[in-house]
Structure 1
Amino acid sequence: MRPDDLALLRTPGVPTVSPDARMAVVAVGRPDLGDDAERSRLWAVPTDGSAPPRLLTSGWCDTDPVFSPDGRWLAYRGAERGGPPQLHLLPTAGGAPRQLPGHPLGAGRPVWSPDARRLAYTARVPEVHRSSADRAGQPPWLVTTLRWQVDGVGVVTDRHSHVFVLDLPPDTDDDRAPLPRPRQVTDGAADDADVTWSPDGAELAFVSARHARADRDLVHDVYAVPATGGALRRVTDGRADCSLPAYDPSGGWIWLTARLDLGPDGLDVAGRGATLCRVPVAGGAPEPVLDPASTDRGDGTPATVLAGGAAHLGVQRRGAVELLRVPLAGGPPEALVDGPFTVHGLAAAGGVVVATVGHDRSAGELIAVTPGRRRLLTAFGRGLAGTGALRRSEERTAPAPDGVEVHGRVTLPDGPGPHPVLLSLHDGPHRQDGWSLSVDTQTLVSAGYAVVRCDPRGSAGYGQAHARAVRGAGGTVDADDVLALLDAVLADPALDPERVGVMGAGYGGWLATVLTGRTTLFAAAVVEGALTDPAGLVGSSDVGWWFVDQYLGADPPARAADLTTPTLVVHGEDDRRFPAEQGVRLYAELKRRGVPAELLLFPGEGSDLGRTGRPRHRQARLEHLLRWWARWLPVTPDEDLPGEVVDAAAAPGGDDGREPLTVRATRLD
């Protein structure tokens, strides 16, 4: 796989299924390198596999499709180039889509009322008009809370997200029929999310943080409000981080996903998995339905899916995300999809479950699950798969120094080796690095590197005890785990133990600095979008006010003064999770002490540059990774290495689509 193969990547989103279960619709995204934008269109897919998918919309970026309960309409979000997403309505019998009344900052995912006559959604409500054309002329922000910014969104102190309801006219077929303005149902200095309807359509439930300590903890409760507006009612008891509520058909329970018991200060989230729960509609404490000690939800479905007397959800398990069917009336859950796969999203209706499922060589395809059968419905990834460049991963395990089993994967290039080795560390730490397509891994393997990935303690998918082992102690047992697995896999004759590099993003980037401060094993490092200065993170990051205390403790082991490994520092200029200052500080300290270093800074990008950045930035990032590793870890071991050079910098102008700024301590001759 080459960097320009990004253009072949097709990524299906979360599907929706028609009420008669005959048709699924899914948004499929693709990076458009020519237009330097992420494009997305909707595709219709017969659930019986009787016909290939057909293109349904032709907008610039169409996402989040949802069928109406009567099957007559498809609501979705559509955005013009450079504009915010707005709601659209498409008749399923044929015809042109109609844009619904818009919002200046865009509208969230639509949710249909049971009678198919209303749509609920959330949208940010700006208190002050702020034009991006004249940032210097904007009024100041007055910040009085800890929660005042969000990565990927920006400052939110004067533009909170609230619930809206849009009533559709009786004759929606008439494009000339005027549409009423949406009604704002909630307000206040809090963000509302995950709205859902009660079975009778009289009430809405949503998630918000409106309690007295909301600015100082991570608790989120389920609230209910009349669909016509009125007084709010808190449903849950204020001790959990709740999300994705859904009324069951009886109307007596609300099912939800929650991280339970966050402790007396509401901050004890480190390593706590999100599990399926239920709560009486009248209110109370969330009751876990699945064991929170061993269950952690991992699919990206923006709802709790209830259908056929069961809840359906994806659960993280040893690098996979399995699809579970959990009976509402009780009884053991049933695995509908298990093994080395990742369930990204799902929908269900009429006895059919449709899921977007990927693995280590696929960004995802739609499958239909019926009793006793699983049917593959799509082949969106055939273009990339047709290159023949994608490689399978092999599972490996090793004992940590204290005897705990460490689980990971190795992806090998063609040929007998011995191959140079790159240790790749995932973000989080409460994530997993498993059976899903990694563009970085496939690109580096195609270039001749063996890539080792690991789920050390702190990772998701191995139970709560495994995940909480790094609570207040990051960089200790997780670093031990990574080195233990690496030592074990380096015994493979296909791997060269004398040629090893390390790379990581976010928390994984910080863990890479821990390892390079501990050992001289690594020829070079790549530290991307990483936490490198915990003290400076507290006041500058959107999560810094709690993340450092929960995961790193009082004396984190990574210090720039301990580092001597040549390091490429990669950062998004607009990263609010681990702000760019973190990377710049590391780069400056390395340079001051004469350590070979480069700073690769991407204008306008946030924390998830490798997956959600502008396509040309993503391509440039891959090219720089290949260049860096060719410099410090050449695939052919007897290649001559270029000498040291003076610093150089380049930053082409332009506010949009600018090339990344590269500050070099070394370069290719």
Structure 2
Amino acid sequence: MVKRSLSIAGWALLACMTGVAHATPPACGERLLPPSPGAATGQRPITAHDLIELRDFGTMFDTSRRPSFSLSPDGRYAALILRRADPERDDYCFGVMLVPLDGRADPRLLDVGGEFIQAVTDPYGVTGVPSGLPVTEPPVWSPDGTTLAYLRRDKGQTQIWRVGLDGAPARQITQLTTEPRNLAWSKSGSILLFTTRRLFDAGVDEIEREGRSGFLYDERFWSVAYSRPTPRLPLPTEINALDLATGGPRIVTSEQAAILRGERSMQIPAEARISATSPSAGLAWVASERADRPRGPTLLRVQAAGKELPCHGEVCHEPIAGLWWNAEDMLFILRGGNADNGGRSALYRWRPGAEPGPRLLLDTEDFLAGCGLAGTSLICARESATRPRVLVRIDPGTGRSTTVFDPNRQFAEVRLGKAERLTWTDRDGVRTYGDLVLPPDHKPGQRHPLIVVQYISRGFLRGGQGDEYPIQLLASRGYAVLNFNWPAEAPAAAATGSDEAAQRVKVSNWSGRRRIFTALEAGIDTAIAKGVVDPALIGITGLSDGASTVQFALINSTRFKAAIMSTCCDDPNAVFNAGPGYGNNVVKDVGYPPAGSDGRAFWRPQSIAVNADRLKVPLLMHLPDGEFRMAQEAFAALRSHDAPVEMYVFPDEWHTKHHPAHRLAIYGRNIAWFDFWLRGLESDDPERSAEIARWKLLRDASARAL
């Protein structure tokens, strides 16, 4: 089962890379290999296991700057780390998958095994806080294309492994006691470069010594999760060079690493967010339109034959997600989806200097989650609303897309509800979009209860942000589901010079939250106007920023009849429960009321605790043990006023929950909650009898309190 591992200093609470006990490699090999294609009838009802046990590579946050796969130097293969969850065993299977791009041979596993490597963050001055998201660095290719290097974690420690394409077993090539990241080969193929943060480990040891005389309570504390401080920032990242002949690593400078990688000394502008160089020394890059507005709109700039060429039209403006030059100096430009363009991806080609401007190749609602150039073709990770991620080849002449790797071919057998992209403009002129999914057996004239899922809608519609609200499973139960994509931030926030300054704009009169909620209400009205939604039966869900919108919705609207949150809450005490670093930041830089002040007027539009005396919407909370303390004030306040609220705390979880068994439990309880409160249906599952009995008591107590 998944378990919380010890850090290298034996410190359980700073287990930054949670270990996962995994199934034996032979069993995992069977689970990872894509099944033989069957008849795609689309008639089998969907189950929770169909969603949880999908074969995955990468995450919904992948980009062309951080893709989920790597391409061999000769363009013949793609390599990726494939994973698959097993909720019964509460584990994952991992494997290194080699995908021939010509379609003439089946994909094959080069290595099977390993544990979940968890990404960490450094929020508000504290360090090494797990996020719950996986580290998804793809394998990296040796310059001669014969060997792959990759990260693999076993027994609680991540090491560097290598495997060849010749069928020989994979082998571990490091004995590290700290966490490696960001693998890269030297140009010669004799050295592997990687990064570490050794001072984090030294900081853990120092904190152990500090504990003998007591921990000073200061900005190092993330007290919502830990009862001790974290290592103090700054923690520099070292670049290590591992000599593959001797096995000895040494620390090198960034300049030395660039020389080892054989990088050309191109004068790439420091402000460039994305850049690409052509074989003839042409340069394309994306940077802010105005240097004094680093968070503002971006612009594509192109330089060829020593001079900058103008780029006109919307393709030259944000959101530009990727740039590539081929051997013939053809520039490919990928525009990503955003709230203003209805979430559409578009691919263009342009030969600067020889053609007047970019030409459209492909325009789609699908999510192109990172691409790479293989010969003359682009290889992209692609998802649609009803199809999980696949690898595709895109013809640069026609834009035609051909699937080269589908790890979930069996999913075509599942009966799904129809998904429709809705776009709208709210009363303030703010544009955004959402995806509306109806039950598979929907008939004209039917109106269904509506569930709102948040707050990014792109690619495969699985479970919203955090994957806790199974969209197609809800649709199969008779719900309409609106997966809402939040709008762009207001121009006043975008014009600021920092995230803190932007947040101060959004917090003033809660204008940022009002902007999001106004757009959401317009989306709900758009769905209702289609005649497929029962406006009297609407539920709302959310994690993180989506959970903040749930709070605002329950306080400032009466249209929602049930709610579920995956994190919680924005409340007066919660601000300081996270620790001095977070508390000082939101007071000094963002504009929250300081501790001890009367901030009720500030909190009235947003805080559940401040409004608990008038909130009666049934609220279910599924919270990680790494954050649940921020919900204690809201939970206690609601209970004291007989509001129907129930809270579950999941062990060894962080902002995004990663345990397969927990996700299975959450899926089931979320559906049962909405069935009970929106439709008056009681689960006949004997294992839910105690839950249903409690919910009846909550319903009765709430009715008496009205």
Within the candidate set 566, 580, 604, 1:528 is matched to 566
**1:58 lines up with 2:112 in the alignment:** yes
Instruction: Compute the TM-score of the two structures, normalised by the length of structure 1.
Output: 0.72
Q: Could you tell me which residue of structure 1 aligns to residue 404 of structure 2?
A: 377
Listed as ranges, the matches of 1:36-75 within 5 Å are: 36-61=90-115, 64-75=138-149
Q: Give per-residue Cα distances to partners, 1:276-318, cap 9 Å, x unaligned.
A: 67999xxxxxx9999799513568xxxx766544466562244
Pair 608,334 (structure 1): closer, same or farther in 2 beyond 3 Å: farther
**1:80 lines up with 2:154 in the alignment:** yes
Q: Could you tell me which residue of structure 2 aligns to residue 165 of structure 1?
A: 240
Q: Give per-residue Cα distances to partners, 1:404-434, cap 9 Å, x unaligned.
A: 44522210012333221112231xxxxx323
Pair 571,93 (structure 1): closer, same or farther in 2 beyond 3 Å: same
Pair 551,393 (structure 1): closer, same or farther in 2 beyond 3 Å: farther
Determine if contact 2:97/2:107 at 8 Å carries over to the other structure: yes
Structure 1 residue 530: Cα displacement:
3.7
Determine if contact 1:528/1:570 at 8 Å carries over to the other structure: yes
Structure 1 residue 108: Cα displacement:
0.9
Cα distance between partner residues in 1 of 2:223 and 2:298: 24
Listed as ranges, the matches of 1:9-408 within 5 Å are: 9-13=54-58, 14-61=68-115, 64-80=138-154, 82-84=156-158, 86-128=159-201, 155=230, 157=232, 160=235, 162-169=237-244, 178-185=246-253, 197=258, 201=262, 269=295, 272=296, 294-296=317-319, 307-308=326-327, 309=329, 310=331, 313=334, 315-317=336-338, 318=341, 320=343, 322=345, 324=347, 332-333=357-358, 337-371=362-396, 372=398, 373-388=400-415, 390-408=416-434
Cα distance between partner residues in 2 of 1:338 and 1:617: 38
| Structure 2, gaps ≥5 residues long | 1-45, 59-67, 116-135, 305-309, 464-469, 594-601
Structure 1 residue 80: Cα displacement:
2.0
Pair 41,141 (structure 1): closer, same or farther in 2 beyond 3 Å: farther
Identify which of structures 1 and 2 has the higher relative contact order when contacts are C-alpha pairs closer than 8 Å and 6+ apart: 2
Cα distance between partner residues in 2 of 1:582 and 1:401: 34
Cα distance between partner residues in 2 of 1:603 and 1:276: 46
Determine if contact 1:31/1:39 at 8 Å carries over to the other structure: yes
Determine if contact 2:138/2:150 at 8 Å carries over to the other structure: yes
Cα distance between partner residues in 1 of 2:589 and 2:314: 23
Cα distance between partner residues in 2 of 1:409 and 1:425: 10
Pair 637,628 (structure 1): closer, same or farther in 2 beyond 3 Å: closer
Cα distance between partner residues in 1 of 2:325 and 2:453: 37
Give the AA of the match of 2:374.
A
Q: Could you tell me which residue of structure 2 aligns to residue 608 of structure 1?
A: 656
Q: Residue 110 of structure 1: SS of its match in structure 2?
A: strand
Cα distance between partner residues in 2 of 1:36 and 1:296: 38
**1:571 lines up with 2:618 in the alignment:** no
Give the AA of the match of 1:634.
R
Q: Could you tell me which residue of structure 1 aligns to residue 665 of structure 2?
A: 620
**1:434 lines up with 2:458 in the alignment:** yes
Determine if contact 1:504/1:512 at 8 Å carries over to the other structure: yes
Question: More helix by proportion, 1 or 2?
Answer: 2
Q: Give per-residue Cα distances to partners, 1:52-104, cap 9 Å, x unaligned.
A: 322222122595112223212212222225433x2222223442223222432
Give the AA of the match of 2:84.
R
Structure 1 residue 616: Cα displacement:
0.8
| Structure 1, gaps ≥5 residues long | 170-176, 188-194, 206-223, 225-234, 281-286, 427-431, 648-663
Determine if contact 1:346/1:356 at 8 Å carries over to the other structure: yes
Determine if contact 2:298/2:317 at 8 Å carries over to the other structure: no
Structure 1 residue 18: Cα displacement:
1.3
Give the AA of the match of 1:77.
L
Identify which range, 529-538 or 630-639, moves more after superposition.
630-639
**1:415 lines up with 2:477 in the alignment:** no
Cα distance between partner residues in 1 of 2:592 and 2:261: 49
**1:559 lines up with 2:588 in the alignment:** no
Determine if contact 2:78/2:100 at 8 Å carries over to the other structure: yes
Give the AA of the match of 2:461.
L
Cα distance between partner residues in 2 of 1:143 and 1:178: 45
Structure 1 residue 384: Cα displacement:
3.2
Determine if contact 2:311/2:357 at 8 Å carries over to the other structure: no
Pair 517,7 (structure 1): closer, same or farther in 2 beyond 3 Å: closer
Cα distance between partner residues in 2 of 1:311 and 1:96: 38
Cα distance between partner residues in 2 of 1:200 and 1:42: 24
Cα distance between partner residues in 1 of 2:558 and 2:659: 35
**1:475 lines up with 2:513 in the alignment:** yes
Determine if contact 1:342/1:359 at 8 Å carries over to the other structure: yes
Cα distance between partner residues in 2 of 1:383 and 1:398: 35
Q: Residue 407 of structure 1: SS of its match in structure 2?
A: strand
Structure 1 residue 393: Cα displacement:
1.3
Determine if contact 1:449/1:635 at 8 Å carries over to the other structure: no
Give the AA of the match of 1:39.
C
Pair 646,261 (structure 1): closer, same or farther in 2 beyond 3 Å: farther
Cα distance between partner residues in 1 of 2:571 and 2:251: 45
Q: Residue 626 of structure 1: SS of its match in structure 2?
A: helix
**1:632 lines up with 2:659 in the alignment:** no
Pair 398,343 (structure 1): closer, same or farther in 2 beyond 3 Å: closer
Paired residues in the alignment total 572
Q: Residue 510 of structure 1: SS of its match in structure 2?
A: helix
Q: What CA RMSD, in Å, does the superposition of the two structures yield over aligned residues?
A: 4.7
Determine if contact 1:527/1:569 at 8 Å carries over to the other structure: yes
Give the AA of the match of 2:395.
T
Q: Residue 139 of structure 2: SS of its match in structure 1?
A: strand
Give the AA of the match of 2:434.
G
Determine if contact 1:409/1:453 at 8 Å carries over to the other structure: yes
Q: Residue 475 of structure 1: SS of its match in structure 2?
A: helix
Give the AA of the match of 2:485.
D
Q: Could you tell me which residue of structure 2 aligns to residue 504 of structure 1?
A: 542
Pair 76,644 (structure 1): closer, same or farther in 2 beyond 3 Å: closer
Pair 581,289 (structure 1): closer, same or farther in 2 beyond 3 Å: farther
Determine if contact 2:56/2:83 at 8 Å carries over to the other structure: yes
Q: Give per-residue Cα distances to partners, 1:208-265, cap 9 Å, x unaligned.
A: xxxxxxxxxxxxxxxx9xxxxxxxxxx876xx6x767777667796x7666676869x
Determine if contact 2:586/2:592 at 8 Å carries over to the other structure: no
Pair 342,531 (structure 1): closer, same or farther in 2 beyond 3 Å: farther
Pair 483,163 (structure 1): closer, same or farther in 2 beyond 3 Å: same
Determine if contact 2:448/2:534 at 8 Å carries over to the other structure: yes
Cα distance between partner residues in 2 of 1:501 and 1:365: 32
Structure 1 residue 163: Cα displacement:
3.5
Determine if contact 1:41/1:63 at 8 Å carries over to the other structure: no
Identify which range, 503-512 or 112-121, moves more after superposition.
112-121
Within the candidate set 582, 585, 593, 2:630 is matched to 582
Determine if contact 1:391/1:442 at 8 Å carries over to the other structure: yes
Cα distance between partner residues in 1 of 2:153 and 2:424: 48
